[in-house]
Amino acid sequence: MIMDKIALVLAIIGGLNWGSIGIFGFDFVAFACGGPGSAVSRVIYTLVGLAAIWCISLLFRDRDPVENDI
C-alpha cells in the first residue's frame, strides 16, 4: 500500500534526523527549513509524527497471504 511506504519513508527520515540530533547535536530539518520554529519545519515535524502513528498500525496488521508467497 502506497500510504504505508510513504509513512515508512517519513518515519525513517524522522529517525535519521533524531539520530543526527543525538549524535552530532545537529537538526537537519531545522537547518534546511529555516529553524525549528519555522512553518515549514513544523509541517515536516507534524508529518513525521503522523507517519509514526500510521506505522504503529503496521505492527498489528496481518500480512497479505499473496506477499508471503514471494
Tens-digit pLDDT string for the chain (70 aa): 899 999 999 999 999 999 999 999 999 999 999 999 999 999 999 999 999 999 999 999 887 666 655 5
C-beta separation of 4 from 12 below 8 A: no
Range of the domain at 55: 2-63
47 within domain boundaries: yes
Give the C-alpha separation, 49 to 53, whole Å: 6
Give the C-alpha separation, 8 to 47, whole Å: 11
Q: How many domains does the chain have?
A: 1
Give the C-alpha separation, 17 to 2, whole Å: 23
Residue-level pLDDT at 1: 87
59 within domain boundaries: yes
In terms of C-beta density within 10 A (0-12 exposed, 13-18 middle, 19 or more buried), how is residue 43 classed? exposed
Residue-level pLDDT at 67: 62
68 within domain boundaries: no
Among all chains, which residue has been given the C-alpha cell 524522522?
14
